[in-house]
Structure 1
């Protein structure tokens, strides 16, 4: 009796303490002017019909839910996980979980097990086939040779295929490249690049690259790439489609996520509006499954790389209030997404303020005919900074090209600047449904070189600065220039020859003055054709 009293008392105290950690972030005033289709969360579609049940575990806000959506068991708590598909059409979910009656309830998560679950439907229900091993926050990806990697905090499992009965546990190697690691290496997320290499984003928002997904991950950035806003960020998810990279990161304290895009995975733009917030899981009749927390977002992609479904780890209450044997628990849910249109700009010359017309091709797809299904007058095209607010270029006329449709827009008001890599379209179908998409520009290099420097090493005997520079991009670099600054002054500079992808060169630079040494703070700036490619500050001395 006394033991149960104190257990209940501690649980209540923990809930009160954790409740103080939940806050509502104020939104920018301009977000009030966003049109439908501006926010990533506008892409969420109703959950597929399934088996509804009430009088099951969970608060009143999640009763009458689809119990066959994702993975759910009365005796298990689940968290994290994403889906891969095999050639036989089966869907494989790699998810972690623990017995619901485990001591400490949800806070037993450090002892979780990774399970392999299978379904005939993308939305589930998923049934456990076998366990892979201990681990938490899994994310699965397929290597170029077909092997499957399941990342977990502090390591990964690897097997020949999704159905392998035996998985080998290993650990990644990381090279910070003289940069500070941003908030540690946990909750990693991965995107396969066009050459089979992998880009990884860690929880803190640092970007890393591995040549094959298993070899050493090299840190490229020296600061987080997340939006420059107040937030307690975690649970990034990154993916690449046939046009660009996408990144969503969650502010767990504010319960709001942000959506970003990039052409190279290093330099990002942030779109206005929420990527997701609690309440984005709804039924066709409008009923909402109001889960308290939506975390560990993952995406399932179509053959063009477009996200067609998002998976979430959800819980019906504050994590610390989920105690063993109570009515609270967690599961993984599946929410479909509007995948968007396949678009391309036909203008061969860069679009500027003087461009008279912009031609955009809308590609036909099974079940979608742009020639009959598009409300032409509703379309707006241009930079997301314009289109998301209902502005942008307006359509002038159309013409057919096979089954595709070419829409000719006025060049006026597009807002497209020289750094634009994927202008946006928003509109409606003739039935009033949302249309959106991002267009490929024929004059943009979507596989640029990525020159990146290590910390300069000063050789006192030779009086030289040794500087290693590598190309982590997918194409050969152009002749470039580098400057090394110390104490706010340029102390050395030099030329960088063209480098092939993954090639490295070491420069020997003669510094001006004597304000250099092993403990000096250096800033290195790399420019190509006058445009800055990298600027990194090395505050700490490099290890010898």
Structure 2
């Protein structure tokens, strides 16, 4: 065999192996079989609306034809990918999405040379039409800072403008990992605004970062990923914040399923059981399914309470490597409506635990929803999501009108709420048998806390002292805390010093100096562990290099 033929054979083998490597069957936990309807995030996906564009005269494998080409954005001349949607003051829906020419020689692999475009629609579901081109970039996600700046993040940079219509200036973020290892690189970033206008970001690897305003330096405040402790090939995280809590969805691209997590502060996360999404969710009212091969880059359209009312995805009809120039395959952005969680308020004043006798929950009336007449009362369960998702939890005692709102009183038995819970869940059905759910904050829970972060210790051998910089990345002042410094020696952790961190205001930093507990020595590449408030609920641990 000639060298040329051998090279060609190896390339074909690589492509075949890579293509097959895009699919694997993930074994689900056995407990997932016991989830009730509404226990999975995936249960919230609704049928896609009819937008009048159903046709078979378009590109795509037979598994996605016929389809409504008015849904989302598509064009036979362009492949689309990524992007999130917002409703603006002009009453229109704006989507910044990336695209590349379908006839590019590399096919789908031309994504590295994609451009970001500004698209607009009258309807949240589409069709979205291009109104302007922004510039080079891939996997956009956009947000608006507290000061009214428009930011379009793309891999390796961002575009900045004072107006949604530009002009746009390309810039680079600054990242400070805080002397810790960056978790699996800085790409596919996702953002959520905090109460004080600061921003929280999750990177592709699952690390947590904070910026004081969404433009200034991003600071890593974690040293391990927040994703589920499973063997997943994670990418495309999405974070969003509601009036109750933070939400995170991350995609296991190899297993073609995604995971759903919740958090009270965006830093500490709880993994929810069941799939967040997987192929097959793009269905119509008549039961027909658009069977897209892959769903990636999930984003959500939020309402004034932050609730997710619609999801949109980048989808492709086949394995990416099989999408070639001028063929029948391509990618687009689709939208799928979501069941919206109801607005709930727990009226109990005291913290809820296993001894709570009754739990009173106000359900707010909204346009198109009357809680006094529209709820299937027999179906309701309330309590810790860990209980409710499996059909357990508190049973309803009675309902009473509260003006247009309703107050549901539940027996406290079986609520399952403990110190690890920060939100309770209502789950059931409406009178038409459709999913009804909602979350409520819990009394006695501190939702906004200090977030202390430490850098690598400095060693002064002559003075036998240790110095550590500590900063508060929380939105409230910290309480006095104990800090300990350990040297890592193989499997051992040897404490070399401890001190007290004084009260720090938000974003305030301090340089602590402490006497070593023994004779110090330092070797090249020495690793340290810094622990703040060891053994307490707000304990913080950082491995620094």
What interval of TM-score do these two structures reach, taking the shorter chain for normalisation? over 0.9
Candidates 533, 536, 542, aligned match of 1:536: 542
The answer (yes or no) to whether the contact 2:200–2:209 under 8 Å persists in 1 is yes
Matched, 1:94 2:96: yes
Inter-partner Cα distance in structure 1 for 2:157 and 2:538: 35
Instruction: Give ranges in structure 2 of 5+ residues lacking alignment.
Output: 1-6
The answer (yes or no) to whether the contact 1:360–1:406 under 8 Å persists in 2 is yes
CA drift of 1:316 comes to: 0.2
Inter-partner Cα distance in structure 2 for 1:131 and 1:414: 52
Candidates 527, 530, 533, aligned match of 2:533: 527
Matched, 1:496 2:498: no
The answer (yes or no) to whether the contact 2:486–2:497 under 8 Å persists in 1 is yes
Deviates more, 1:29-38 or 1:80-89: 80-89
3-state SS of paired residue (1:371): coil
Match of 1:403 in 2: 404
| Equivalent runs, 1:303-342 vs 2, <5 Å | 303-342=304-343
**Alignment length (residue pairs):** 534
CA drift of 1:399 comes to: 2.1
CA drift of 1:514 comes to: 2.2
Inter-partner Cα distance in structure 2 for 1:169 and 1:70: 27
CA drift of 1:533 comes to: 2.6
The answer (yes or no) to whether the contact 1:80–1:296 under 8 Å persists in 2 is yes
Match of 1:508 in 2: 513
| Equivalent runs, 1:425-440 vs 2, <5 Å | 425-440=426-441
Inter-partner Cα distance in structure 2 for 1:412 and 1:159: 54
The answer (yes or no) to whether the contact 2:86–2:302 under 8 Å persists in 1 is no
CA drift of 1:453 comes to: 1.2
Instruction: Give ranges in structure 1 of 5+ residues lacking alignment.
Output: 1-5
Inter-partner Cα distance in structure 2 for 1:455 and 1:70: 47
The answer (yes or no) to whether the contact 1:479–1:528 under 8 Å persists in 2 is no
The answer (yes or no) to whether the contact 1:11–1:323 under 8 Å persists in 2 is no
Match of 2:259 in 1: 258
Match of 1:454 in 2: 455
* TM norm structure 1: 0.95
Inter-partner Cα distance in structure 2 for 1:260 and 1:205: 12
Matched, 1:517 2:522: yes
Match of 2:198 in 1: 197
CA drift of 1:490 comes to: 2.7
CA drift of 1:530 comes to: 3.3
3-state SS of paired residue (2:97): strand
Candidates 57, 60, 68, aligned match of 1:58: 60
The answer (yes or no) to whether the contact 1:346–1:441 under 8 Å persists in 2 is no
CA drift of 1:84 comes to: 2.1
Question: Root-mean-square deviation (CA), in Å?
Answer: 1.8
Say if 1:505 and 1:13 are closer, same or farther in 2 by CA, change over 3 A: closer
Match of 1:3 in 2: none
Deviations 1:219-252 (A, max 9, x none): 0100110000111000001111111111000000
CA drift of 1:532 comes to: 3.8
CA drift of 1:518 comes to: 5.7
The answer (yes or no) to whether the contact 2:352–2:442 under 8 Å persists in 1 is no
CA drift of 1:22 comes to: 1.0
The answer (yes or no) to whether the contact 2:464–2:520 under 8 Å persists in 1 is no
The answer (yes or no) to whether the contact 1:384–1:423 under 8 Å persists in 2 is yes
The answer (yes or no) to whether the contact 1:117–1:130 under 8 Å persists in 2 is yes
The answer (yes or no) to whether the contact 1:464–1:510 under 8 Å persists in 2 is yes
| Equivalent runs, 1:138-153 vs 2, <5 Å | 138-153=140-155
Matched, 1:232 2:233: yes
Deviations 1:84-129 (A, max 9, x none): 2221101111000011000110001111111111111111101111
